[in-house]
Structure 1
């Protein structure tokens, strides 16, 4: 008999994990809980979350409370008496009363090697910090953020070519596969959790506007490139050159040249700004304010013509 599952998730990462549960005959997804649909883009069009779209395609019940605690939806979910509660990039804390309703286990698929990178943006921060390796942890859910006992982990190498988009896609597959391998062992009592060492814990807080700002006067070339990788394709790191805001989606480290914070290289195909350590950041894919993403060559054929070597970025 299939184990019943209530799934909590919102993003693309969540969608991949949910798809694995739906396709596995060992599990019966009886409900999907997602964040409420939010307005997106300049036109503020309200879009369904990724997990909601998948759930509706499979005719699964969908719950979207603004806040689970004390909601009518929570009472309905508890009444389901599911074998498993599974979260993956959900975006809300699960109340303890709901966690305790799971007959077998309430578990989370977290995109880091815990206790490293507890929090909302572990994949982004691994890239921002220039890590060479990351992974996925399956852990018991507790009231404290990502602090439950770890049941299983799997590691993945971060390639130099990875950005947040590509690493999210890779880790979603790793997380899905690890979850589907771990849950049967929990059902039989074979899998056990190991406490985390809280002294080794680091945080991965939400991405905010201040983090998204590139400061060539304070950040090294490596730090700038890692920040770009960690925030690409969304939400995107940005800088201001002569007061024009430009989102930078791909970049690489060049040679040492020019004055810190200034446009130091401009040719038909290269556009580089010198960072705090004296090395140049070569821009590859970018998006000027109000425009679509473009290659640096396309930018240089258009708006890039207005900038000359020596143009300054705004110090933040």
Structure 2
């Protein structure tokens, strides 16, 4: 089987390591804005075309892709909207790997959103591409547990590995003509969709309950931007906090430091308190050194 690979970033590198042992790579198309250098090295190693193209739906590209006689197109972290002609071009279709349990968590940043929503599991889905956003029929899907010690970094690490493995499984099913595709509406008639996170979305709200606050901080910690608030000396990134066992529920000033211990400071939030353990100053060139907060009791932090 010959595969045309549309891809970018660490997700695509890990998947390609597995795919090259099972299929013939016909060409590699990177994201046009980043033109991933690791994928370029792979193309040179495999002696296949490396083709950055601004619009894969253009007639010129489609005419060229036809000549490669690829049987299957695979998308792994590719960022262009695909139209009907290119979707239907290869014999076995166009497939994509998505780090969400479709039909839920369609759209952007699913690993961030699944933590923000306090889910107990995250999903990975390999599906056929159609003209909707993550709406095509499902080929393979698996769920993975989320624990209280997981954060964005740990989910990302798991997802890169597991997405590659599930993609390989899906390609094997296609090769063997063994796909039993699942229509997404048979799982749920509506599902959910999440938009891209933008500047300003990182601001915390100290009126949130402890569980929501904890979920938000771990959802966008490094390699994300970090949850943000204003401290005594400027903007802060809140990179780690913990839930406090048996914390009392009471009304008081939200965002105020109400306690300290060897691990950090206790912050009053909407319904209770959380232990803030890692922060960094926000600087023009990025985040400063990660450190334990040492604010005095009575210090007030300000969110959105």
Q: TM-score range by the shorter chain?
A: 0.7 to 0.9
2:24 corresponds to which residue? 28
Where does the alignment leave 5 or more consecutive residues of structure 1 unmatched? 39-46, 301-306
- Using the TM superposition, give the Cα deviation of residue 126 of structure 1 relative to its aligned residue in structure 2, in angstroms: 0.9
Structure 2: distance between partners of 1:129 and 1:7: 32
Q: Secondary structure at the match of 1:210?
A: coil
Structure 2: distance between partners of 1:112 and 1:196: 13
- Using the TM superposition, give the Cα deviation of residue 58 of structure 1 relative to its aligned residue in structure 2, in angstroms: 5.0
1:17 corresponds to which residue? 15
Q: Secondary structure at the match of 1:251?
A: strand
- Using the TM superposition, give the Cα deviation of residue 288 of structure 1 relative to its aligned residue in structure 2, in angstroms: 0.7
CA separation of 1:169 and 1:216: change in aligned 2, threshold 3 A: same
| 1:100-249 paired onto structure 2 within 5 Å | 100-197=88-185, 199-217=189-207, 219-233=208-222, 234-242=224-232, 244-249=234-239
- Using the TM superposition, give the Cα deviation of residue 117 of structure 1 relative to its aligned residue in structure 2, in angstroms: 0.5
1:303 corresponds to which residue? none
Structure 2: distance between partners of 1:287 and 1:61: 43
Deviations 1:197-217 (A, max 9, x none): 152411122122232111112
Check the 8 A contact 2:204/2:303 in 1, yes or no: no
1:295 corresponds to which residue? 291
Q: TM-score under structure 1 normalisation?
A: 0.84
Structure 2: distance between partners of 1:182 and 1:56: 26
Structure 1: distance between partners of 2:56 and 2:230: 40
Check the 8 A contact 2:9/2:36 in 1, yes or no: no
1:89 pairs with 2:87: no
Structure 1: distance between partners of 2:37 and 2:253: 45
Where does the alignment leave 5 or more consecutive residues of structure 2 unmatched? none
Q: Secondary structure at the match of 1:191?
A: coil
Q: TM-score under structure 2 normalisation?
A: 0.87
- Using the TM superposition, give the Cα deviation of residue 119 of structure 1 relative to its aligned residue in structure 2, in angstroms: 0.6
Structure 2: distance between partners of 1:11 and 1:228: 24
Structure 2: distance between partners of 1:55 and 1:295: 42
Check the 8 A contact 1:81/1:101 in 2, yes or no: no
Deviations 1:6-51 (A, max 9, x none): 11222322322222212x2x2011222222345xxxxxxxx84664
- Using the TM superposition, give the Cα deviation of residue 104 of structure 1 relative to its aligned residue in structure 2, in angstroms: 1.5
